[in-house]
Structure 1
Amino acid sequence: MSGRTIATGLVVCALVATLAALLLPVQLFGENASAQSAPAFDDDGGGTVSTRYGPLTAMDRDFVRKVRLAGLWELPAGRQAQERGRSKAVKTAGNHLVAGHTELDRRAIEAGRALGIQLSNQPSDQQQGWLAQLDAAQGAAFDPLFAQLLRRAHGKVFGLVALVRANSGNTMVRSLASRTNSVVLDHITVLEKTGFVDFGNLGAPAPGRRAGSTTSHIGRSEVIS
């Protein structure tokens, strides 16, 4: 056997081994692995409809609704931080939340009107519960509660924002997703700079969550930040 034949055989074997390594995770875990890691969304059953901005899916509509819901509780939370925060960093985080969600709220309302999506005008029961906790927090207890509640909420949104931005065929929804991603990252950054975020408990259920309720930023979550 010639040296060229041996070399060719080694190259082929290497290519086959590489392909096997790439396919192995799929064969081991199947399609369920990707399905489990993909963020969920609330399906309103309306299917996909045509708009002047491109096709509008149930995921698109859910995303716009969640952006609106976020502003309905995080704007008041930000204002509380501006007024009641004891540390300069918490007050700064409040400023960023108010500015960011004022913009996103306006964009979500514009998208809702243009795309025919009905939006909420008041926070969900869960969100009202979080606001009530902030209202009840006295003195030095406010700053750490604010930072933890808001950081946990913002940390849950990255999956859906990325999913919508990558897959939506609707130009208005994609634009909203792009801006939401930038705002969420800014908010995460300023919340972490407060020094009050307990990273070890970010995955724990948010204080005051009703027993049996489910979330996923974003599967059946009432929050997007």
Structure 2
Amino acid sequence: MATRYTIGSGVVITALALTLIALLIPVDRFGGTASAAVAAPAGDDDGLGTMSTAYGPLTAVDRDFIRKVRLAGLWELPAGRQAQQRGTRPPIRTAGDHLVDGHTKLDREVIQVGQALGVDLPNQPSAQQQEWLSQMTRAKGDEYERLFIKLLRRAHGKVFALVAVVRAQTRNSMVRALATSANTTVLDHITVLEDSGLVDFDSLSDNVQPTK
């Protein structure tokens, strides 16, 4: 009986060892670190490389993320205020409330992070974001509400994936805290947007771009 248990234990240990080796092989191919196995998010490289700060290394990806959080607030705050005023369905007005509340708090935090880490932040929405706001301003009635949900849900879906990767990979404690806050805010916004019942999930494919 003891021999049977010994053999069984040996098989389990061998299987676990083989599994561990299989998991480590892809890591070695990416340079020998576990975090490298997860692709870093694509972003704008400001050419400053990795900088030393009191809160840990600050990479180009970290700085790009901080700027993207600021940009999100610059167009989603006015979009939320517009939904509060123009929404005829209660879920649209509720989504507007959440956008305004969430991005007011997140914008305050990202400004503090930018100042502490010496990151220059944008002060107006990008050209694309301004166009999205213009589209919503021109739309009327039901068309407006559906466009609002479409543009905001798709934008939040994309940033949600970015937040997760940055949160997992950054070695800067301030960026990590900002990513944690952003994750909570974005998930809340995705939830209330979907609660409207107007999300067309087929249109969320990366191959489908918001109307220009």
- Flag whether TM exceeds 0.5 (same fold): yes
Q: Identify the residue that residue 64 of structure 1 maps to in structure 2.
A: 66
* Structure 2 residue 180 is the aligned partner of structure 1 residue 178: yes
Aligned partners of 2:115, 2:95: CA distance in 1, in Å? 30
Aligned to 2:211: 208
Q: Counterparts of 1:107 and 1:16 in 2: how far apart (Å)?
A: 50
- Where does structure 2 lack aligned partners over 5 or more consecutive residues? 31-35
Residues 135-180 of structure 1: per-residue CA shift (max 9 Å, x gap): 1211110111111211111111223222322333323222221211
1:112 to 111, 114, 119: 114
CA–CA separation in structure 2 for the residues paired with 1:11 and 1:111: 52
Query: Match of 2:16?
Result: 18
| Aligned counterparts of 1:110 and 1:25: Cα–Cα separation in 2 | 40
Once residues 186 and 48 of structure 2 are traced to their aligned partners in structure 1, the CA distance between those partners, rounded to angstroms, is: 28
For 2:73, give the aligned amino acid: G
Number of paired residues?
206
SS at match of 1:121: coil
CA RMSD of aligned residues (A): 2.5
Secondary structure of the residue that 1:44 maps to in structure 2? coil
| Residue 146 (structure 2) aligns with | 144
4+ runs of 1 displaced by more than 6 Å? none
Q: Which runs of 5+ in 1 are unaligned?
A: 210-225
Counterpart of 1:137, as a letter, is: A
Q: What TM-score do the two structures reach when normalised by structure 1?
A: 0.80
- Distance across 2 between alignment mates of 1:15 and 1:117: 50
Alpha-carbon offset, residue 113 of structure 1:
1.7
Following superposition, the deviation at residue 112 of structure 1 comes to 1.4
Is the deviation greater in 170-179 or in 185-194?
A: 170-179
Give the letter aligned to residue 14 of structure 1.
V
Task: Measure, in 1, the Cα distance between the counterparts of 2:211 and 2:108.
Answer: 29
Structure with more contact order per residue of length (Cα contacts < 8 Å, sep ≥ 6): 1
Deviation string, structure 1 residues 43-84 (Cα, Å, up to 9, x no partner):
222122222333222122111100110011111111111111
Change (3 A) 1:147 1:169: same
In the alignment, is the contact (CA less than 8 A) between 1:161 and 1:180 conserved in 2?
yes
8 Å Cα contact 1:64-1:112 kept in structure 2? yes
% identical equivalent positions: 56
Matched, 1:9 2:7: yes
Pick which of 49-58 and 129-138 moved more.
Answer: 49-58
Cα distance, 1:103 vs structure 2: 1.4
Question: Which aligned pairs between 1:1-225 and structure 2 lie closer than 5 A?
Answer: 3-21=1-19, 23-24=21-22, 31=29, 34-36=37-39, 38-204=40-206, 205-208=208-211
* Aligned mates of 1:52, 1:122 — CA distance in 2: 29
